């Protein structure tokens, strides 16, 4: 019996920067997905989701996305990626248990992919570099789920460290863990709003960023700074210019925020979170009225240092940076601002691992 565990993540700062070869700060949260099971020699794939009360049956020889059990695709895609890399694997019987709320902006999808990748490599005796495991999760999401995501979610789930933020340079893939000030806590507020077109909106934003980079003659928006953007961006279609403004601004904010964290300046860090949200609202247009109300409510709450949407956007969750002791007041304010909002307090936790 092998058990793997991978946590969810929260994006602290750096929105949609990952696929622009940019900078991002995240944490692994203290909840995640646990897979327990045994390898099978007959190539069968049997998955059971404890929370959904559903079972999937398939086989390694017929790996294809399942329309009937979309949740199984997060595992199937990972099995497929090991095979595409020519890595020998067998079948598996797995039970999935998760204490991560689904669709709450904590990337339960990457946690499931990462847990699967850790489980497979342990079961079939591989030892891939952690970054390669993250790439397997990302590629499986591209092929089996259809979201052209970057690497933020998977890297955060793998490289997270208790009490630390994870700083990721998505060009060099340098990953550093920076200590979080001891009295800073995180509240995740899940608005419960889920827009049906998230995948296509996400992919459209990515395409706009790529178009902007191309117009500047650079491989990625990471290569453009705000001075150049404002001096030369006038030739871009107005929407594309706004998308680029968000990415360029986010990269600059993350660079500044990493320095603030190193100096323990939580209040100034929080101001950058508010600025990030404002840019999502105005430039990237990946917020929604409910998330805007949550951020406004946070701004007016004593002890709340910063708030912004976390993750892809178009619904989902906000992350709030709050002084220890002010969590309950903040949660009450958020739940009053957007009825149906579900809040949880998390600290920064350790990344994925084999448990047994
Ligand atoms: C989703 C994607 C990530 C990243 C964020 C936005 O979580 O999976 O790769 O692009 O959105 O920063």
Q: What residue's CA is closest to ligand 1, atom 10?
A: 16
39 close to 92: Cβ distance less than 8 angstroms: yes
From residue 226, how far is each of 106, 221, 254, 268 by CA, in Å? 30, 10, 14, 20
pLDDT for 229 equals 97
pLDDT at 103 over 90: no
CA geometry: angle at 171 spanning 169 and 174, to 5°?
40
Ligand 1, closest atom to CA 149?
9
Residue 101 pLDDT class (50, 70, 90 cuts): confident
Summarize pLDDT for 66-93 with one digit per residue, the tens.
Answer: 999 999 999 999 999 999 999 999 999 9
* Ligand 1 neighbour 149 (Cβ under 6 A): yes
Please work out whether the CB of residue 254 comes within 6 Å of at least one atom of ligand 1.
no
Nearest CA to ligand 1 atom 2: 149
Q: Which of 30, 153, 239, 292 is catalytic?
A: 153
At residue 255, the 3 state secondary structure works out as helix
State in Å: Cα 64 to ligand 1 middle.
24
Closest CA to 211 of 20, 346, 5: 20
Among 118, 96, 112, 193, which Cα is nearest to 145's? Answer: 112
E runs forming strands in the chain: 2-13, 23-40, 44-49, 54-59, 91-98, 164-169, 175-179, 184-194, 304-310, 315-323, 342-346, 353-354
Residue 107 has pLDDT above 70, yes or no: yes
**pLDDT the model gives residue 196:** 65
- End-to-end alpha carbon distance in the chain: 7
Mutate-to-test residue for ligand 1 from 77, 138, 153, highest number of ligand atoms within 8 A of CB: 153
Average pLDDT of the chain to the nearest whole number: 96
Q: Answer whether 104 contacts ligand 1 (Cβ < 6 A).
A: no
Give the position of tokens 């827009």.
195
| Ligand 1 neighbour 250 (Cβ under 6 A) | no
Residue 1 structure tokens:
């019996």
- Burial class (CB within 10 angstroms; exposed 0-12, middle 13-18, buried 19+) of 299: middle
- Alpha carbon distance 138, 117 (integer Å): 11
Instruction: Record the tokens describing residue 59, joined without a space.
Output: 């086989």
Question: Which atom of ligand 1 sits closest to the CA of residue 141?
Answer: 8
Verify whether ligand 1 is closer than 6 Å to residue 233 (CB atom). no
d(CA 257, CA 144): 35
Average pLDDT (254-264) is 95
CA distance 191 to 347: 20
How far away, in angstroms, is 59 Cα from ligand 1 center?
30
CA nearest neighbour of 190 among 11, 336, 342:
342
Query: Does domain 2-176 bear CATH number 3.40.50.620?
Result: no
Beta carbons of 312 and 198 less than 8 angstroms apart: yes
Q: Is the CB of 157 under 6 A from ligand 1?
A: no
Whole-number Å distance between alpha carbons of 330 and 298: 7
Q: What residue ranges do the domains of the chain occupy?
A: 2-176, 181-346
Task: Kindly state the average pLDDT of the residues 46-67.
Answer: 97
Angle at 327 between CA 325 and CA 329, to 5 degrees: 100
Distance 90 CA to ligand 1 centre (A): 31
Taking the C-alpha atoms of residue 229 and residue 306, their distance in angstroms, rounded to an integer, is: 27
Q: Would you call 18 a catalytic residue per the annotation?
A: no
Span 331-356, pLDDT tens digits: 999 999 999 999 999 999 999 999 98
Rounded to whole angstroms, how far apart are CA atoms 102 and 104?
5
Which atom in ligand 1 lies closest to the alpha carbon of residue 202? 11
- Span 114-135, pLDDT tens digits: 999 999 999 999 999 999 999 9
Ligand 1 atom 1 nearest Cα: 312
How far is it, in rounded angstroms, from Cα 268 to Cα 245? 21
Look-up of token digits 């998760």: 98
Q: What percent of the chain has pLDDT over 90?
A: 95
pLDDT reading at 4 higher than 80: yes
Ligand 1 pocket, residue 18 CB under 6 Å: yes
Cα–Cα distance for residue pair 288/297, rounded to 1 Å: 14
For residues 91 and 105, the answer to whether their CB atoms sit within 8 Å is: no
Quick one: pLDDT at residue 197? 66
Asked whether 190 and 14 are in contact (CB, 8 A), the reply is no
Ligand 1 atom 9 nearest Cα: 150
Q: Which residues contact 79 (CB under 8 A, 6 or more apart)?
A: 45, 60, 63, 89, 92, 116, 120
Whether 213 has a pLDDT exceeding 80, the answer reads yes
Helix or strand or coil: residue 162? Answer: coil
Residues 283-330: pLDDT tens digits? 999 999 999 999 999 999 999 999 999 999 999 999 999 999 999 999
How far is residue 89's CA from residue 82's CA, in Å, rounded to a whole number?
7
For domain 181-346, the CATH superfamily is GHMP kinase, C-terminal domain (3.30.70.890)
Q: How far is the CA of 279 from the centre of ligand 1 (A)?
A: 16
Q: How many CB atoms lie within 10 A of CB 190?
A: 25
Which residue has a Cα nearest atom 4 of ligand 1?
A: 16
Tell me 282's DSSP state: I
Question: Quick one: CA dihedral 270, 275, 281, 283, positive or negative?
Answer: negative
Residue 14 has pLDDT above 80, yes or no: yes
Which ligand 1 atom lies nearest to the CA of residue 109? 8
């Amino acid at each position: 019996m092998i058990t793997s565990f991978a946590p969810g993540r929260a994006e602290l700062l750096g929105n949609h920067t990952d696929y622009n070869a940019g900078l991002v700060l995240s944490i692994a949260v203290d909840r995640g997905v646990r897979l327990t099971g045994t390898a099978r020699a007959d190539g069968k794939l049997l998955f059971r989701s404890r929370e959904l009360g559903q079972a999937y049956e398939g086989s390694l020889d017929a790996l294809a996305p399942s329309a009937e059990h979309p949740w199984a695709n997060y595992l199937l895609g990972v099995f497929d990626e090991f095979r595409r890399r020519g890595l020998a694997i067998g079948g598996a019987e797995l039970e999935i248990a998760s204490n991560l709320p689904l669709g709450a902006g904590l990337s339960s999808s990457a946690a499931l992919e990462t847990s699967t990748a850790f489980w497979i490599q342990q079961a079939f005796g591989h030892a891939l570099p952690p970054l390669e495991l993250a790439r397997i999760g990302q590629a499986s999401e591209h092929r089996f789920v259809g979201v052209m995501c970057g690497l933020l979610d998977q890297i955060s789930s793998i490289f997270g460290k208790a009490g630390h933020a994870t700083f990721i340079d998505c060009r060099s893939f340098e990953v550093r863990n920076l200590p979080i000030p001891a009295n800073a806590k995180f509240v995740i507020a899940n608005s419960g709003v889920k827009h049906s077109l998230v995948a296509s909106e996400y992919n459209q934003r990515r395409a706009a960023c790529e178009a902007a980079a191309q117009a500047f003659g650079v491989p990625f928006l990471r290569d453009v700074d705000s001075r150049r953007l404002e001096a030369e961006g006038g030739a871009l279609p107005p929407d594309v210019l706004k998308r680029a403004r968000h990415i360029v601004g986010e990269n600059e904010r993350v660079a500044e925020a990493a320095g603030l964290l190193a100096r323990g300046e939580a209040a100034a860090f929080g101001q950058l979170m508010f600025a990030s949200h404002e840019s999502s609202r105005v430039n990237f247009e990946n917020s929604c009225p409910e998330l805007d109300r949550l951020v406004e409510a946070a701004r007016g709450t004593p002890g709340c240092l910063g708030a912004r949407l976390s993750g892809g956007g178009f619904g989902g969750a906000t992350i709030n940076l709050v002084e220890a002791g002010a969590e309950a007041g903040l949660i009450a304010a958020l739940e009053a601002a957007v009825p149906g909002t579900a809040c949880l307090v998390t600290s920064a936790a350790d990344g994925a691992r084999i448990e047994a």
